Structures are given as structure tokens and as C-alpha cells.
Amino acid sequence: MEAIMINQLPELAVPKIRPPDRNMVAPSSERRNPFITKWYVLFDNQNGEWISFHPQPGHTVYPCYACRDMFGSRNSFLDHVNRRGMVLTYKCPHCPVLRTFYNTCSFLLHAREHFGEKGGAINLDDIDIATIPMDIAGFMPISNIKRLYDTEDDSIAKYKGEWNALGMTGEGEYTMFYDVKHSGNMEDGTFHGPGYLTFPNGARMEGEWENGHMISHNYIYADDMKYDATYCQMPDRRFLVEIREGLQPAGNSYLTNDKEPRPIPEDCYDVGDGFYNPKTKCVIDAADNTKILRIPTKTEHEWIIRNCRKAWDEPARFRPDLFENWHEGNKKSCISSTSTFSDI
């Protein structure tokens, strides 16, 4: 759920309430078509007039992005999106279970979560609509029906910063999905100029934006280490803790950047933010093995197999890339080069 300050969008388009247009009512032959019936139930087919909405500056509104209605309080929005006036079951192609909704707004808000930048599609074959039983119709909470957007964790976005007549412009902080925050300059409602993203794990991405597009960036980990493609690569294979505190004596070398490496579940790889299981292709939470954090891409999968620490030991075999061939001589002839097998 997103709360918008009124001075963010001084003119918000909302549908003008008016009686139904008789010319927009479907003929009886069309009403008997189940696909057309579903379409009329889900979408507003009345191309009604629109008016400019001018709320008082400084107020907060809660918009419904399915029907474009606006509400002056959080509770009003919750009543709206949780109202029960029908039973709509949806076989969502992106969800593992059959989903049930009780109004068109909650259904369309869910479908929109799976849309990409260019939109998405809803297959009407996957939808069934039925009359709701009278004992569960209405607004009052029911114990066996989950109430949507009823926790702070479900908040979608919020903005705190400078404005002008066009909306978010100037310095500000925009909190996005999953508590990712952008701090920096805005222009006409988009990221523009210098700024940085802060992630829930403490890492941040410093960069430069141009009309909403990042044109340069630098990733900084939670421990303030900047991303470096040569980190832990030849000729310097030290972990950050070794760079900061020095190398340990032989036999006490660190296996990871953590001084005490954590145990890895069977058949898994330690990828930092969790453990990767190549059989399930999922990264699971280190503290809760029932929680899936993400599904890596094919490129990341291959990188994990090549580079990350495994749960099992295996022979290291000969690694010529880990040897250096040093030559004696003066300053100009003193060369450090990676040797090949024939050099050894």
C-alpha cells in the first residue's frame, strides 16, 4: 500500500461518479458469453469523464491502483481492498496455489505484481467468478480470511523530501519495495542526478541517474568495502579481514572473510547471504532453511559452482595459477609472472 502526500501530485485524476450509460450495457447475447461477462466484471467498460482532484496540500491520500479511487485514511483503504462482494478464484501462472479474491481490486493488484515493465496478460480461462455467500459478505474481518495490506510490512512506497508543482523534485528519500531506499536528487518524480540506494542488509549502491536510469554506479558492501572485480584474485588473494588485520600464521589462515566459518548444509554452497543448493536451484536463508531468498540466474549458478565454498572437501589438485615465478636481477629485470606447468 502506498501513501502519497497531496503536494506530490497536485492534480490527480479520479473517475467522476455518474449513472451508468445505457449505451454501454452489453446486449443479452454478449452477456451470455462467459468471457465477456468476466471482462465486464473485472474492468470498467464505461469510458467515463475524468476530473482533476485538488485535495488540501499537506494531506495524505491512499490510492487504489486498481480502480484509481483515493482514500483519506489507511483504514478506509483497508476496508476498500478487503471488501467481500464476490468469490473470484484465479489459477495464477506465477503462484503455486489457487488464489481466492473477494473483489476485483484485490485481484487486479495481485495480477499487477507479476507484470513487467511493458505490462502483462491475464488469461480469462484461469478465472472463475461466483456469487458470495451472505454469511461472509461485507467488510467485517473474518478469522479464516486473510486481511490484505494490514501490516506495515505490506507498505509499498513512501517519499519524504522536496516538491514542486510537478511532484517529487529536489533532495529526498524514497522508500521502495522491500525497504530499499533511494536518497538523493529527484526531478519530475524520477531519480535524477547523484544519489545512492540503501539495501536492508546494509549495502548501498552509489551512482548517478538520468531521468530514472542509472548511468554510473559503485557498489559498497555493508562492511564499507567497495566492489572490486579483482578481490581475492591473483596476485592478492587476501580476504578483507586479512587486508585490515594482517595475515594469520601458517595453519591458522582464514577460510572465509568470517573468522569463524559457518557450517554449510549437505550438498550446498555458501554464497554469503545464504546457502545455494544446486539440486533445487534455490538460495535458502542461513537461519531458516525453509525460507527461499532467491533463485540465481544461470550465470550466477555457474559462478557459484566455480568459486564458492562447498559443504564437502575435495582434492585441490595442481593449480599453476596459484604459483608465481620470481626472477633475480636488477629493478628492470625483476619480474613477477604467473607460471605455467612447464615453468615449474
pLDDT single digits (tens) 243-257 = 888 888 888 888 888
**Pick the residue with more confidence: 59 or 74?**
74
Q: pLDDT confidence of 333, banded at 50, 70, 90?
A: low
Distance, C-alpha 236 to centroid of its chain: 35
* 126 contacts 80 by C-beta, under 8 angstroms: no
Q: Which residues pair with residue 277 across a beta bridge?
A: 282
Average confidence (pLDDT) over 121-146: 86
Nearest to 157 by CA among 175, 171, 173: 175
Nearest to 225 by CA among 240, 238, 235, 236: 240
Q: pLDDT confidence of 230, banded at 50, 70, 90?
A: confident
User: Which of 4-18, 47-61, 112-126, 196-210 shows the highest mean pLDDT?
Assistant: 196-210
At residue 317, does pLDDT exceed 80?
no
Average confidence (pLDDT) over 107-117: 78
Average confidence (pLDDT) over 197-212: 89
Cell of 303: 559462478
Q: pLDDT confidence of 54, banded at 50, 70, 90?
A: very low
Nearest to 43 by CA among 122, 101, 116: 122
At residue 282, does pLDDT exceed 50?
yes
Task: Reduce the DSSP state of residue 244 to 3 states and report it.
Answer: helix
Q: pLDDT confidence of 342, banded at 50, 70, 90?
A: very low
> How much is the mean pLDDT over the chain?
75
At residue 101, does pLDDT exceed 90?
yes
Q: What is the pLDDT of residue 264?
A: 92
Rounded Cα distance, 246 and 151, in Å: 47
Which of 6-25 are b and which e, b meaning 16 or more Cβ less than 10 Å from the residue's Cβ? bbbbbebeeeeeeeeeeeee
Cell of 264: 554449510
CB-count exposure of residue 196 (10 Å: 0-12, 13-18, 19+): middle
**Pick the residue with more confidence: 68 or 64?**
64
Nearest to 5 by CA among 192, 211, 168, 152: 168
